Amino acid sequence: MPQGGASVVARGWGWRHAGRRAWALDGVDLRIDPGERVLLLGTSGSGKSTLLAGLAGVLGDADEGEEHGELLVAGVPAREARGRVGLVLQDPESQVVMSRVGDEVAFGCENLGLPRDEIWRRVAEALDAVGLRVPLEHPTESLSGGQKQRLALACVLAMRPGLILLDEPTANLDPDGVAEVRDAVARLAATSDATLVVVEHRVAVWRDLAPRVVALEAGGAVIADGPTDRVLAREGARLAERGVWVPGREPRVPAVVPAAGAPLLTTAELTIARGGRPGRDGRARGGVVVRSGIDLDVAEGEALAIGGANGSGKSTLALTLAGLLPPADGEVRAEPALADGLAPSPIRWRSRELLPRIGTVFQSPEHQFVATTVRDELLVGPRALRDPRADETVDELLDVLGLTALGAAHPFTLSGGQQRRLSVGTALATSPRLLVLDEPTFGQDARTWRGLVSLLNAARARGRALVVVTHDPLLPDALGARRLILEGTAA
């Protein structure tokens, strides 16, 4: 287990991404004593993830950005303390590099040059500490999202860092996965002296594990710092007004429930599969069947929220409905109001034909970015359709998404919440009749959440249909959505 917490000191510290005029963080002053447990809050784009990346020593060199001030871990510059810092990110899939659980946990220790016997002793201890009791040879690809996050935490623990950083570790998890990760961190807190810093929007999940709260505003200024319950009680109204998710002060948005119009998309006895390629008949060939017997329909002005456990096939279903994955069996049928003269099978449509009909938001925003600036990313679809209002449309989207000042920034330099808003904007830019959105609200503060929900409700009021995959407990009601729950895990 990790021994000996590491201190954190920031003195006037700042970071500016290459090519940006504005500093992501500027003048940060903060001290965290060894062994403290801190919940780091702030609005979307306030620099929380940038601060964690700086502490982990992974921000890059002068070619990737500019730094000033001091950022120290255990009394030395953060870049020199990498061996003492462990970082767990929000996406469970992005952190797994090995095919077997034991090898995954051993990977970091091997890079530290530890003796073989010591490595495997640490592997066993770390897996036990996070409660992941599976065989060492268990395939990593068969773990649930919550299990993968516990695996990532075990990988960090095995290296025995003095500082553990968790960057929205439950953002993409179902309620069971959230509980798994939270309980694993609770076990860590009870047995380890390591310093712990958690960045999360789900304050209620972490408040009992983090006795101290630090809240940042845009640019990195500390606007609240102190015992968690006292800060939330005394500063809750002010923090909520600035966009922090304060328990009991969650935003509310009146749902828009227009009358359903013409049918747009239906499925009949649909079977979905991962990894398949479309054959000449439009069916998946060579894929792994995930789920079968799916019957659903979506009409103009309707919202359908798809829920279920991690691994239940939600994202695969969304991509199949969007015409990006072929069905393994059964039918995905675009009705005349959506097909508008095309063949009824969306998988057969070309990309330019999809643009005004079905807009898609992937679970991971960075998987769909193709341009080098935020503005150009939003222009991709309208330009492909030769929309004469392209620039005007993009200006409006930049404003409503709160991204106007970042129009010239590279999409990969945005915060996670900003990337998510950009990805939703790219889908809206071509005014498609059907929007298929996978976790559209993750990474949002309370204000940007409210803005995104209002934007989606406005699209629905104009007759657009929404299919939303989400673990967000507030979103279905805010959209007035019907619910489809995929029970259990995928076949």
Instruction: Kindly list the structural domains of the chain, giving each domain's residue range(s) and its CATH number in brackets, ordered by start.
Output: 8-241 (3.40.50.300), 263-486 (3.40.50.300)
| DSSP strand pairing (163-167 vs 284-285) | unpaired
Give the residues across from 195 on adjacent strands: 163
d(CA 331, CA 284) in angstroms, rounded, equals 12
DSSP state of 365: G
b/e per residue 437-456 (b: at least 16 CB within 10 A) = bbbbbbbbbbbbbbbbbebb
| DSSP strand pairing (163-167 vs 85-88) | parallel
Q: How far is CA 322 from CA 186, 302, 309, 427, in A?
A: 40, 16, 21, 12
Q: Which tokens hold the place of 100?
A: 């077997």
Kindly give the confidence (pLDDT) of every residue in the chain, 491 residues in length, as a single tens digit, with 9 standing for 90 and above. 445 799 999 999 999 888 788 888 898 999 999 999 999 998 887 889 899 999 998 887 656 788 999 999 999 999 898 788 999 887 777 788 899 999 999 999 998 899 999 999 999 988 988 888 889 999 988 787 778 888 988 898 898 899 999 998 887 778 888 888 888 888 888 888 899 999 988 788 888 899 999 998 887 788 899 999 999 999 999 999 888 888 888 888 877 777 779 999 999 999 998 877 777 777 888 778 889 999 999 999 999 999 988 778 899 999 999 999 999 999 999 999 999 999 999 999 999 999 999 999 998 888 899 999 999 999 999 999 999 999 999 999 999 999 999 999 999 888 888 999 999 999 999 999 999 999 999 889 899 999 999 999 999 999 999 999 999 989 999 999 999 999 866 55
At a CB cut-off of 8 Å and minimum separation 6, what does 117 contact? none
Burial bucket for residue 292 (CB in 10 Å: 0-12, 13-18, 19+): middle
CA quadruple 145, 475, 435, 385: dihedral sign: negative
pLDDT at 276: 74
pLDDT at 103: 95
How many helices (H) and strands (E) are present in the chain, helices listed first?
15, 20
pLDDT at 62: 58
d(CA 445, CA 306) in angstroms, rounded, equals 22
- pTM, to two decimals: 0.86
Owner of token pair 């925003």: 365
d(CA 24, CA 35) in angstroms, rounded, equals 27
CA quadruple 107, 112, 113, 118: dihedral sign: negative
Q: How far, rounded to the nearest angstrom, does the alpha carbon of residue 368 sit from its chain's CA centroid?
A: 14
pLDDT at 78: 92
Other beta carbons less than 10 A from residue 212's beta carbon:
18
Give the residues across from 485 on adjacent strands: 307
- Is 480:257 a contact under the CB 8 Å cutoff? yes
pLDDT at 201: 82
b/e per residue 35-60 (b: at least 16 CB within 10 A) = bbbbbbbbbbbbbbbbbbbbbbbebe
Other beta carbons less than 10 A from residue 280's beta carbon:
6
Mean pLDDT of the chain: 90
Residue 74, phi then psi, degrees to nearest 5: 55, 35
Look at residues 52, 49, 42 and name the one whose alpha carbon lies nearest to residue 245: 42
- Is 32:7 a contact under the CB 8 Å cutoff? yes
Look at residues 164, 42, 23, 15 and name the one whose alpha carbon lies nearest to residue 443: 42
Identify residue 9 by its one-letter amino acid code. Answer: V
Q: Which tokens hold the place of 188?
A: 């860590």
Collapse the DSSP code of 200 into the 3-class scheme (helix H, G, I; strand E, B; otherwise coil) and give the result: coil
Please report which helix (H) or strand (E) contains residue 458, including its range. Answer: helix 446-461
- DSSP secondary structure, 261-309, as one string: -SEEEEEEEEEEEES-EE-TTS-EESPEEEEEEEEEEEETT-EEEEEE-
Nearest 10 degrees: Cα torsion 358, 90, 412, 426: 20
Q: How far is CA 222 from CA 10, 47, 133, 208, 235, in A?
A: 12, 11, 40, 21, 13
Instruction: Dump pLDDT digits (tens) for 126-150.
Output: 898 888 888 999 998 878 777 888 8
Look at residues 456, 422, 441 and name the one whose alpha carbon lies nearest to residue 172: 441
Q: How far, rounded to the nearest angstrom, does the alpha carbon of residue 174 sit from its chain's CA centroid?
A: 12
Look at residues 435, 445, 491 and name the one whose alpha carbon lies nearest to residue 468: 435
Residue 418, phi then psi, degrees to nearest 5: -65, -40
